Amino acid sequence: AAQLSAALMLITAPLWLVLVAEDMGSDTLAGALSSGAPKTALLHTQFGHALCLRFILTVVLVPLVARLGEHRWRDGVAFVIAAVSVAAIAWQGHAGDELGRDAMVHLTADATHLLAAGLWLGALLPLMLLLRDVGEASRKHDAAARFSTLGVICVAALLASGIVNTYYLVGSVPALVGTAYGQMLLLKLVLVLTMLGL
């Protein structure tokens, strides 16, 4: 799963760059490619710099994830590289547009949100594989209990960072209630609180 995720990132990163470059120039896809807009977006925008960093980190990560479980220190290095790559997505979104103190707060919240979501969702597949392959009920119970603890921590982090992101992206209670974006956030909040309760 880790190798597949890394491969998908390497394949989709150039496509994402081209689509963002097209959107920045309000041009057609062919026009964006012929004008060199992707190169400009890559070299001269914060989005491009963050994408380039994530691409390089993923290239470094590929040989590490191919040998997961052999050495703890190597697994730790792979985890840190993957975490930095996921957190760097924050600089590619709205949080990257802030300045000063707001930039620090919003970027921290956005990076926390991304890391918590990645850690929680990323642990689901290994948990399912472990529960399938392990025969002992005690080991299954222990794995499920550990994941439950991780899940509560991640959902709590998602909730806290989501509130901060909502403050910056929505800005007011009327906008939260009266816009489609705000209503979607409220629905997500209800779902998160339900999951946290469970």
* pLDDT in the model for residue 138: 81
DSSP codes of every residue in 120-189: HHHHHHHHHHHHHH---HHHHHHHHHHHHHHHHHHHHHHHHHHHHHHHHHT-SHHHHHHSHHHHHHHHHH
Predicted TM-score (pTM) of this structure: 0.78
Q: Please tell me the distance from the alpha carbon of residue 50 to that of residue 42, in angstroms, as a whole number.
A: 9
Cβ-based neighbours of 107, under 8 Å, separated by 6 or more: 90, 91, 95, 96, 98
* pLDDT in the model for residue 141: 85
* pLDDT in the model for residue 85: 92
Asked whether 85 and 61 are in contact (CB, 8 A), the reply is: yes
Asked whether 139 and 131 are in contact (CB, 8 A), the reply is: no
* pLDDT in the model for residue 26: 66
146-150: long-range contacts, CB 8 A cutoff, minimum separation 24: 147/123, 150/119, 150/120, 150/123
Percentages helix, strand, coil for the chain (3-state, rounded to 5) are: 90, 0, 10
Q: Please identify every stretch of the chain with a pLDDT value under 50, giving residue numbers as ranges.
A: none
pLDDT digit string, tens, across residues 56-74: 999 998 888 877 767 788 8
